Amino acid sequence: MQMDTGVCVLHLFCSPTATVDRAALTSAITDATSADCQVITAAMLGHKADIGVMAISSDMAVLHSLQINIQRAGLNIRDSYLSITEVSEYAKGLPDEALRDRLYPQLPPEGKPAFCFYPMSKRREGHANWYATPFDQRTEMMMEHGKSGRAFAGKIVQLVTASTGLDSHEWGVTLFGISLEIIKDVVYTMRFDKGSAIYGEFGDFFVGYLAPIDDLV
């Protein structure tokens, strides 16, 4: 099943079983890559997972095959997240190249080995209902949020993907940074933006560093 516009982004957070087959795991990733799927692997830190796999493709069948094949190779998927690329309603007026990068990202960026993923939603409570807030006010808050992020240009590459109706939150946020300290700094800085401080709700954070799959099992 193909996407009409943009691509699907599948995050899989895994741990190896005692019977993991390195050759089969490498083959699963090679097969996906040969089918025009970007596959990014990372060493994850903490108890939630040991290996992160981020796969990007316009063909959902390719993502499904990768998901099945890495399990057959001996990885246990402990958590996952599905989202798609989009151009936000607040992104009107961006250059065509910037819009293309949001819909069809080419990852990972060079020189940014630190990796972080987390899901987020906008709050819908009586005193802080994002969806009942006028569009011009939401736009102003998103502009503030974007300005905070641009202060880290050259140090962070961010991919925000949409997941309303697809997973447990409304967006997935993937960060590639020059260091874990920079990832911490950008997340902390943006927490003070009104759109985040009042309306942001966040899921679990998955953090690690990029590494080839052969180094992870």
Does residue 10 sit within a domain? Answer: no
**Structurally, how many domains does the chain consist of?**
1
Does residue 160 sit within a domain? Answer: yes
Domain residues for 186? 107-209
Does residue 93 sit within a domain? Answer: no
Does residue 61 sit within a domain? Answer: no
Residue tagged active-site, from 81, 90, 104, 118: 118
Question: Which of 19-33, 53-67, 85-99, 113-127 bottoms out in mean pLDDT, i.e. has the lowest?
Answer: 85-99
Does residue 157 sit within a domain? Answer: yes
Does residue 182 sit within a domain? Answer: yes
Which of these, 10, 109, 117, 119, lies nearest to 59 by C-alpha position? Answer: 10
Does residue 137 sit within a domain? Answer: yes
| CATH code of the domain covering residue 166 | 3.30.70.1030
Q: What is the rounded average pLDDT of the residues 28-36? A: 98
Per the annotation, the verdict on 209 as an active-site residue is: no
Tokens standing for residue 43: 């060493």
Question: Which of 12-21, 93-102, 122-131, 147-156 bottoms out in mean pLDDT, i.e. has the lowest?
Answer: 93-102
pLDDT digits (tens, 9 = 90+) for 59-108: 999 999 999 999 999 999 999 999 999 998 888 777 888 889 999 999 99
pTM of the model: 0.96
Does residue 9 sit within a domain? Answer: no
List helix spans (H) across the chain.
22-34, 60-72, 96-103, 135-150, 180-191, 194-197
